[in-house]
A = this chain, B = another copy of it.
Amino acid sequence: MYELIEGGVCAAKGFRANGIHCGIRRNRSKLDLGLIVSDVPCQAAAVYTTNLVKGAPIYVDQAHLSNGIAQAVICNSGIANTCNSDGLEKANRMAAVCSRVTGIPEDDIIVASTGVIGQPLSIEPIENGMEELFSGLQESCEGSLLAEQAIMTTDTKPKMAAVSFEIQGKTCHLGGIAKGSGMIHPNMATMLVFITTDAAISHEMLQKALSHDVQSTFNMTSVDGDTSTNDTCCILANGLAGNPVITEDGDDFKIFMKALNTVTIQLCREIAGDGEGATRLLECRLTGAVTEEDARNLAKSVICSSLVKAAMFGADANWGRILCALGYAGVQIDVSRVDVSFSSDKGEIQVCRDGSGVDFSEEKAKEILLEKEIDILVTLHEGSAEARAWGCDLTYDYVKINGDYRT
């Protein structure tokens, strides 16, 4: 029913995208300005970082999305446009330039920036590049890839996902692109994620879907515990699939939610797996908790522990660090009932039962932990709530990348 397809943000009908190098970054081989445009105005929703220090574009977006309508996303990489005294002016000028060239009303344009905090954004390269950016818009997968490349910073891989699905006999599409590699510890929203769909849905229901979805997806993803200042996740729905507009809870909404979740989970895994310096994707599956909130806090505590992350880099089955991280998560648990296993494509191995170590083959554990995708399975045996969280290992390269990011 949910078929994974190509196309990213161009998978849905009526969306085109592009990315160029306009000159914000010195490296000419690195794209730095991306654009996503819908042929028609869209219902729109967004969630943003909870960091009190917010990128200037977020204030612009909150204003522009107050009526729930948008038609384009313009985003630069290289400079975050955060902590600059002229940040708001620059973010508004980005929207104005985009409006002039695309003909889309300024307040239907979503603005985003990502990169270094506290350095001024030059608007000239954006003004000079806008015509080229607009005239190169493509409705193929290539357009989505170019837009994705334009928002990447320390990301090493493009992150795109899309699905097709049916609502009342109409084929709908939903796809997204994401950037995020460091300063990833979202809270309410995350990094930059742009999602498009041709499903018809009201902006109220779109916001409801997005706000609910991020709780179990982007908000359960952490690379380094640092909540970014520019986290923005937005979704545009242009309705071109022709399904009856989703305006309330019900089967259609459920189908839509599931499509959204399929794409966001895929993007979360790609973000965590491409965490700065990462060699392994970690997924903590926590089961048997009393409440879902407990389950989430516990799973996230495991994924965020520097010591767990470093042990995973070393393919070291040091499960004591997992118990330690569960113990300081701020959730009341019965430690004497906790079971822990590791699993990967090479199999599964239990390392802790009832809160104490069990004899296990270090050799087999090493074989399992040397894989690229590791599941950390924790069972509390206290209730039926569960959660998943995604992260990555802590490596030399994380330190290297972040010891000298600006220069």
Residues of chain A whose beta carbon lies under 8 Å from any beta carbon of chain B: 50-54, 80, 82-85, 116-120, 182-183, 185, 187, 224-229, 304-307, 310-311, 313-314, 316, 318-321, 323-328, 332-333, 335, 352, 354-357, 394-396, 398-407
Contacts and interface: CB of A to CB of B under 8 A. Distances in A.
Given A83-B356, A324-B51, A311 B187 contact: no
B324 A183 contact: yes
A405 B321 CA distance: 11
A356 B85 contact: yes
Contacts of A54: 327
Work out how many copies of this chain go into the complex: 2
Contacts of A53: 323-324, 326-327, 335, 355
A345 to B, nearest CB: 21
Nearest to A52: B327
Contacts of A328: 50-52, 185, 187, 226-227
B405 A394 contact: no
A335 B117 CA distance: 14
Nearest to A305: B226
Nearest to A336: B85
Contacts of A120: 357
Nearest to A308: B226
Contact of A225 (B182, B306, B398): B306
B394 A399 contact: yes
Contacts of A229: 320, 323-324, 327
A393 to B, nearest CB: 8
Contacts of A84: 356-357
22 contacts: A51-B324, A52-B335, A53-B323, A53-B324, A54-B327, A82-B320, A116-B318, A118-B356, A118-B357, A119-B320, A187-B328, A224-B306, A225-B304, A225-B305, A226-B324, A226-B328, A229-B327, A310-B398, A314-B404, A318-B406, A394-B402, A396-B399
A119 B52 contact: no
A342 to B, nearest CB: 14
Contact of A51 (B118, B182, B183, B327): B327
A398 B306 CA distance: 10
A321 B226 contact: yes
B224 A307 contact: yes
A17 B107 CA distance: 73
Contacts of A319: 118
B357 A320 contact: no
Contacts of A83: 320, 323, 335, 352, 355-357
Contact of A324 (B228, B307, B325): B228
Of A225, A304, A321, A332, most B-chain CB atoms within 10 Å: A321
Given A328-B51, A402-B314, A117 B320 contact: yes
A336 to B, nearest CB: 9
Contacts of A310: 398-399, 401-403
A52 B407 contact: no
A316 B119 CA distance: 14
A405 to B, nearest CB: 7
Of A80, A183, A335, A399, most B-chain CB atoms within 10 Å: A399
